[in-house]
Structure 1
Amino acid sequence: MHTSTTSTAALEPWSIEQLQQATQGYWLNDKKPAGQIKRILTDSRDAEAGDAFLALKGERFDAHDFIAQVAAQGCEIAIVSRPVDADICQLVVEDTRLALGQLGAYRRQQNPQLKVIALTGSSGKTTTKEMLGSILSRLAPTLVTRGNLNNDLGVPVMLLELRPEHQYAVMELGASHQGEIDYTSKMVQPHVAGIINIGTAHLGEFGGRDGICRAKSEIYAHISETSIIPAADDFAEVIRAAVRTEKSLSFGAGGEVYASDVVLDAQSSSFTLNTAQGSKTVQLPFAGEHNVENATAAAAFALAIGIGLDDIVAGLEQAVGAKGRLNFIPYKDYLFIDDTYNANPGSMRAAAEVLAQQQGIRVMVTGDIGELGSSAAIEHYKLGRDLVSVKGINFVVAVGEFAPAAQEGARSTQYGKKMQAFLNQEQALPFLIRLIETHQPQPMSFLFKGSRFTHMETLMAALMEKL
């Protein structure tokens, strides 16, 4: 388990009393370290003098096995759930996973100056989080969830980075099982929080969208000020029923914060942002209608935490997408769109609409979508059917175990010939090269997307190398 906790800024040190108070642990043989603790880490490779190494135990690994190694690296403290034979001070706790949560929660409580936003949803979380980070960090030091540190381990790891100068925190909360968001949102103690949407990501774990909605709605139990609601979502009424705060704010069509006069360009968009504070035009440096929706969500969260409309617009106009989220890369005579960070059925369809806006021959290269459980084959079938039907897309190249299911879906339409299916990237690459050779010298636009485990960026890089 290598969740890197390293941050460039100097972290707020811990005293041994705080460490013990937060975790309710005991020092083995009453052997305590001297001095302050620089940082708490879960990655043994980074542990050094002044650190406390927290030994997590997963299904396939046990970091207690690395304690002798971290001691040799100069680390003087280990937080363990069972004593280990090593020359190191050991703080013994009941469960190191829960201790990490307790340490994160303790750090959060120690920063009462902080205004905290927490958000969850099936798709768009990361982009909305980046937009909020852009709005708030213009105004004051802001802690923003990095990468995908959004689960029961990642959230406390982020909270450990809180420092007294932080005025805002934007925390992304993910869920892969019931109860996870209840656990992380209780730790985060948000002032403003809510769901962006209920899609079909993680269908497998939750047995349907109702289950997803129940899991995400756990966030509403822990909000101190304002609950955010996606007005246009199929589950809006169910979500409203979960709200417990007096104040709420809705966004999207039919909501209190909404977009009108939307103009979608190939690599950007513009719209009028309508709010109770007034309306303003936004020139958004993101393509796609789904990103206009994400910007509207970001505006609602920011308004609820007291940010003015002018600051919101300035922040949205300066926002930059996360790596692998619809990044436009002009390369030689071609356009590559890197959307390889992750995928679910909703975001796959949204990406297709963005590709359809581009120049020349448009090729969508898709990897499998994970975490769909028993509905995987039918979801890929529906996806294949829908992607080839998007007007303006010339070819869809599906790669992976479920590519044949996607191809069956494509063949159920009159556009079946647009789809090619390959079981792996090695088979798909020669086809993509031939496609380029056949269409020279016409301009071409490629969009690569798949779930994280499919590493579609590898295929994109391999194709670019051949050009």
Structure 2
Amino acid sequence: MHTSTTSTSPLEAWTAEQLQQATQGHWHNQKKPQTAVKRILTDSRHAEPGDAFLALQGERFDAHDFIEQVSKNGCEIAIVSHPVDADICQLVVADTRLALGHLGAYRRAQNSQLKVIALTGSSGKTTTKEMLGSILSRLAPTLITRGNLNNDLGVPMMLLELRAEHQYAVMELGASHQGEIDYTSQLVQPHVAGIINIGTAHLGEFGGRDGICTAKSEIYAHIAASGTAIIPAEDDFVDVIGQAVKSEQRLSFGTGGDVFATEVELLAQSAHFTLNTPQGTGQVNLPFAGAHNVSNATAACAFALALGIDLDDIVQGLQHAQGAQGRLNFIQHDKYLFIDDTYNANPTSMRAAGEVLAQQDGVRVMVIGDIGELGATAAQQHYMLGRDLVSIKGLNFIVAIGEFAPATQEGARSTQYGKKLQAFLTQEQAIPFLISLVETHQPQTMSFLFKGSRYTHMETLMADLMENL
């Protein structure tokens, strides 16, 4: 049985008393709503009758400015950090950002039947989350983190979507500063929690991989007493991670761990391997390319086993899993293969994507944008990336675009394969070169892979090239 992760049943309504109890706020002038609240939202554009609008404040915006507007749209309740002059019931709280967390935690506590997985990592967490979603949602209704709702605002927003029928929740937790995962894992109260890997994403915020490890390890702080910690056996921070774990029950994945892959066969768009677990072995035909996705699958297996899921169900779930949009999606366009991996990038996933492209047919062209959030190490990281990508056997051309493309090119030129890489500062400058590459190699088949950090919008360049073919 496959159960959809999107439910048609309505969200459980909130009473005025529940809102007050959850947030520890007070109703301004004792004016409280008489009807139930159907949902809590933070986007003023969608607020309507029956909603409670929660006014967030940021460095450059203050949603309290929109309360009069939401009132005119029929929304009768606002959750505020200070009263405003508007004809609307106002629940005044100490801090609306924290109130959102309190509301999410309240909803989580109401769903005592729920089994929660929390996961984090520098790369692969979204794909692992999708694999887990595929395993669990075949068994029962499952709430799965959508998009990038994995921070101190996104996590409680996801918890507000919990319904009584949900049996499982797979919560992806991200970190942009120390303490954030400690906060979000306390909200979700996981039964099973773990780190997939410690990479180099967000190096700028944490000042190095040690800092990243400390931030990610916060995920182990709030595991249920009878719960299980998941540990990456192959990671070079495995000892440090092990010290952060307080749970008695542990399960590790990867070579040397409790769950690992053997007899791995990497194909152009998939992988085949034997899955070895404490419950026995299974043969998996994984519809994802690359060794890194085999690793993600062993991680997903470890999380699922820790919830007591049967190995047969895990194998079935892995074999039916689908990738998230912009995560190694294969698109056939006439005789050209386009691999859309544009959702995001970090140094680890960039190298893994290069290995996947090397498995494809014809002339192989990797088109990369800058990687963000590397701080002071950015130029050095791009230099090392250029050096490593041109050294991947099977890549014919690499086109680097952006502010750090020259640094990437310098890295490429430090090897004997420097001519493989061309650097451009903008997409507009790169497109004529890409079109000329296609014309030069007619009538051969070609495979393109596009990847970059989210802000580089590499999907725009991919669409432009497709239109010109």
Which structure 2 segments of 5+ residues have no match?
A: 1-5
Cα distance in 1, alignment partners of residues 100 and 167 from structure 2: 23
Contact in 2 for aligned 1:366/1:398 (Cα 8 Å): yes
After TM superposition, the structure 1 = structure 2 runs for residues 41-190 of structure 1, keeping only pairs within 5 Å, are: 41-190=41-190
- Contact 1:398–1:420 (Cα < 8 Å) also in 2: yes
- Structure 1 residues without counterparts, runs of 5 or longer: 1-5
Counting aligned pairs with the same residue, the percent is: 80
> Helix, strand or coil for the counterpart of 2:360?
coil
Instruction: Give the match's secondary structure for 2:136.
Output: helix
Paired residues for 1:260-279 under 5 Å? 260-279=262-281
Structure 1 residues 21 and 112: alpha-carbon distance in aligned structure 2, compared to 1, 3 A threshold: same
Hey, what's the Cα distance between the residues in 1 that align with 2:244 and 2:155?
A: 23
Per-residue deviation at 1:227?
A: 0.3
Summarize the alignment of residues 58-457 of structure 1 with structure 2, pairs less than 5 Å apart. Answer: 58-224=58-224, 225-457=227-459
Shift of residue 9, structure 1, vs aligned partner: 5.0
Amino acid at match of 2:144: V
Does the CA contact (< 8 Å) of 1:341 and 1:451 recur in 2? Answer: yes
Distance in 1 between residues matched to 2:207 and 2:465, nearest whole Å: 37
Distance 1:9 1:394 in 2: 52
User: Structure 2 counterpart of 1:87, which letter?
Assistant: D
Contact 1:78–1:88 (Cα < 8 Å) also in 2 = yes
Taking the aligned partners of 1:322 and 1:360, their CA distance within structure 2 comes to 26
User: 1:248 Cα shift?
Assistant: 0.3
**Partners of 1:39 and 1:336 in 2: CA distance:** 41
Cα distance change of structure 1 residues 8 and 78 upon mapping to structure 2, 3 Å threshold: farther
Q: CA deviation at 1:10?
A: 2.0
Q: Indicate how the Cα distance of structure 1 residues 340 and 8 shifts in structure 2: closer, same or farther if over 3 A, else same.
A: farther
TM-score (norm 2): 0.98
Deviations 1:234-286 (A, max 9, x none): 00010001110110000000000000000000000010000011001000000
Residue identity matched to 1:157 = M
Runs of 4+ in 1 over 4 A off after TM superposition: 6-9
8 Å CA contact retained: 1:118, 1:171:
yes
Aligned to 1:3: none
Give the secondary structure class of the aligned counterpart of 1:122: coil
1:253 and 1:259 in contact (8 A); partners too: yes
Distance 1:158 1:12 in 2: 14
Native 8 Å contact 1:7 1:161 kept in 2: no
Q: In structure 2, how many angstroms separate the alpha carbons of the residues matched to 1:194 and 1:341? A: 23
Q: Distance in 2 between matches of 1:440 and 1:60?
A: 51
Distance 1:339 1:277 in 2: 34
Q: Residue 3 of structure 2 corresponds to which residue in structure 1?
A: none
Deviations 1:318-367 (A, max 9, x none): 00000000000000110000000000000000000000000100000000
Deviations 1:214-233 (A, max 9, x none): 00000111111100000000
CA distance in 2, matches of 1:43, 1:333: 44
Residue 84 (structure 1) shift: 1.0
Q: Residues of 2 paired with 1:222 and 1:404: CA distance?
A: 44
Letter in 1 for 2:23: T
Task: Report the Cα distance in structure 2 between the residues aligned to 1:341 and 1:287, rounded to whole angstroms.
Answer: 16
- Tell me if structure 2 keeps the 8 A contact 1:192–1:228: yes
